[in-house]
Amino acid sequence: MIQGPTLCILLTLAQIDSAQHMWAELPGWQAYDLALKEAARAFPSNTESAAVLVKVAALDRLYFTNLKNLIAVSDQIVAVFGTPPVPEGCDLVMALSHVGGQRLVSFASKYVHFFHDGSLPLTDWYALYALVRHFQQPEARIETWRQAYHTYFAKIMELKRLSGVEATAREMDHYLWLAGNWLYYQKKGPATQQNTELKRYFAAPDRKDMLEAAFAQLL
């Protein structure tokens, strides 16, 4: 941990590597990602309504984004990509997220990552849960950072910079998502409504030492 203007629990390459090893042992999530890669290959357009709707539906079902109106979300994506100049980076995520008075930042980050720019990180509640722990912030900060993708992106970059760690957006996603899920599992126990495959993984006795070595500093 470093002290000073920024209080931060540093990240290590060993933790990143452990998270990649864990991810490789989750066949369900491996299959989801392969399906999204195939969707991106088969339907490359972000301006054709049918192609976008297929990708929106696949992402919503596989990554549990709980969209209420697939058509409205698809229409927003087509409108943003079809109206030049198309924003890039964090601005694109935020532009896609505004649908019918809602701000669907988590979904938009996933859509951009899988179907447009893989260098931008995914975001969801569990990743944010781990990130606020790294910065020693209260849990209430999650909602603030969740609504502002620019802040989330900046905090990931800051964590990597302070830690002296080079990692891709997908590697950071694996680490933060797994860390956040494990932390919440430790807090709530096996009765949580988390992903079944993950809960089985966390409960396996032969995974205990690796999980604690990777994530226990955040408890």
In which element (H, E) is residue 32 found? helix 27-42
Is the pLDDT at 167 greater than 90? The verdict is: yes
- Domain containing 96: what range? 29-115
- 96 within some domain: yes
- For residue 5, being part of any structural domain is answered with no
126, 196: one domain: yes
Cis amide bond preceding 5, omega within 30: no
Q: Which two tokens stand for residue 130?
A: 């781990």
Residues 48 and 154 in one domain: no
Residue 109 is assigned to a structural domain of this protein? yes
Q: Which stretch of 4-8, 17-21, 155-159, 190-194 has the lowest confidence by average pLDDT?
A: 4-8
Cβ–Cβ under 8 Å, residues 136 and 7: yes
Query: Could you give the number of structural domains in the chain?
Result: 2
Q: How confident is the model at residue 144 (pLDDT cuts 50, 70, 90)?
A: confident
Same domain, 144 and 161: yes
Per-residue pLDDT at 29 = 94
pLDDT band at residue 1 using 50, 70 and 90 as cut-offs: very low
Q: What is the model's pLDDT at position 6?
A: 60
In a domain, 6, yes or no: no
**Chain position carrying tokens 């309504």:** 49
Whether residue 35 lies inside any domain: the answer is yes
Residue 4 resides in a domain: no
The neighbour count for residue 110, using CB atoms within 10 Å, is: 24
129, two tokens: 């849960």
Q: Are residues 94 and 137 in the same domain?
A: no
pLDDT tens per residue, range 2-20: 444 468 999 999 999 999 9
pLDDT number for residue 114: 98
Is 100 found in the same domain as 172? no
Q: Among the three residues 115, 150, 181, which one is the final residue of a domain in this structure?
A: 115
Examine the domain organization and report whether 106 and 134 are in the same domain. no
Q: How far is CA 44 from CA 41, 121, 131, 141, in A?
A: 6, 20, 32, 36
Q: At which of 65, 90, 115 does a domain end?
A: 115
Give a yes or no: residue 56 inside a domain: yes
